[in-house]
Chain A
Amino acid sequence: MWPKKLALIASKGSLDWAYPPFILASTAAALDYEVEIFFTFYGLTLLKKDISDLKVSPLGNPAMPMPVPMPNFVQMLPGMESMATMMMKQKIADKGVASIEDLRTACLESGVKLIACQMTVDLFDFKPSDFIDGIEFGGAATFFEFAGESDVNLFI
């Protein structure tokens, strides 16, 4: 069946979790898939105008590679999260990995539909003006309308 469809739910807003939805969506769009991403809960932060401030925390992330072993009680100290975020951002830049802003722009340019969960917007008292242009607002039923017909459905 052509074109193939990809439906994604993005529910997380940290720097490491921001990559999967945008990479999958932009790549699928490059492969001529029709793509929709439904942003809910913390995923909603990925639709904000300014996303230069996404963070990643080592705390509770035992799988995160660390230059030196670091026990939890050190990871929770003030400044550790900022340091981990800075190190991650530096690594990303050094290895030629795209920034989240670039990936998001690539998605918009290739016609990926970005939908903000209306319930979460209300829940966290966001205003439509907090977000970038070109997105839609909808609920779970809106998501299912597309997801029900999709070939690939992923929850991130």
Chain B
Amino acid sequence: MEFDKELDARNLNCPLPILRCKKGLSEIQATQTLKVLATDPGSVKDFQAFCKQTGHELLQLDEADGLFTFYIKKRVA
């Protein structure tokens, strides 16, 4: 999957993955895609809640060997 910016939030615990994600999204344009890498298992639910609440779209979630990869599309303001 294509993305415009990648964010490494591996080995960071709640709430850092979400906080970093928010910062990462502020650095890209609307409709661009942010890719986030995380190892915190709690981040799965957190990112789903984050997208539901803020209106950004969770395009895809991949999981392999404890590594979670999120693709989030920044919503139009």
Whole-angstrom CA separation of A117 from B40 in the bound complex:
36
Whole-angstrom CA separation of A144 from B69 in the bound complex:
42
Q: Is the CB of B18 within 8 A of A27?
A: yes
Q: Chain A nearest CB: distance from B27 CB in Å?
A: 13
**CB of A75 within 8 Å of the partner chain:** no
**CB of A32 within 8 Å of the partner chain:** yes
* Chain A 101-114: CB-based contact to B (< 8 A → 1; otherwise 0): 00100100010000
Q: Please classify how large the interface on chain B is, using the bins under 10, 10 to 19, 20 to 34, 35 or more.
A: 10 to 19
**CB of A30 within 8 Å of the partner chain:** yes
Interface of B is mostly: helix
Given A27-B19, A110-B22, A32:B14 Cβ within 8 A: no
Q: Is the CB of B19 within 8 A of A30?
A: yes
Given A26-B19, A96-B16, A98-B16, A31:B11 Cβ within 8 A: no
Q: Is the CB of A31 within 8 A of B19?
A: no
Residues of B within 8 A of A (CB): 11-16, 18-19, 21-22, 40, 49-50, 53-54
Residues of A within 8 A of B (CB): 23, 26-27, 30-32, 95-98, 103, 106, 110
